[in-house]
Amino acid sequence: MSTLSQKEIAEIRDHFDFFDRDGSGLIDQDEFIALLKILAPSADRANAVRGFETIDGDHNDQIDFDEFLEWWQTNWTVF
């Protein structure tokens, strides 16, 4: 993972908070799918679920900020 500046991390944090609609500090699958529909209207539900499972590195059915950060830096445009 490359080193990010504090400013870059703050920007990614803003995106994370946007996904995290209920402010729980974690993104659940429903939140992810709802937002992905806006960001990538052509992605179907199967794509969204697969994407969620890819990001959810420890497979606890929630995306934490570390997982999100890693995804954001690598291939969030996969959709």
What residues line the site for Ca ion (CB under 5 A)? 56, 58, 60
CA distance 18 to 5: 20
User: Which residues does 19 contact at the CB level (< 8 Å), separation at least 6?
Assistant: 27, 31, 32, 35, 63, 68
Rank residues 11 and 53 by Cβ distance to Ca ion and give the closer one.
53
Rank residues 6 and 49 by Cβ distance to Ca ion and give the closer one.
49
CA distance 74 to 28: 20
**Nearest approach, Cβ of residue 2 and Ca ion (Å):** 21
Q: What are phi and psi of 63, to 5 degrees?
A: -100, 120
**Nearest approach, Cβ of residue 14 and Ca ion (Å):** 20
**Nearest approach, Cβ of residue 73 and Ca ion (Å):** 16
Rank residues 5 and 53 by Cβ distance to Ca ion and give the closer one.
53
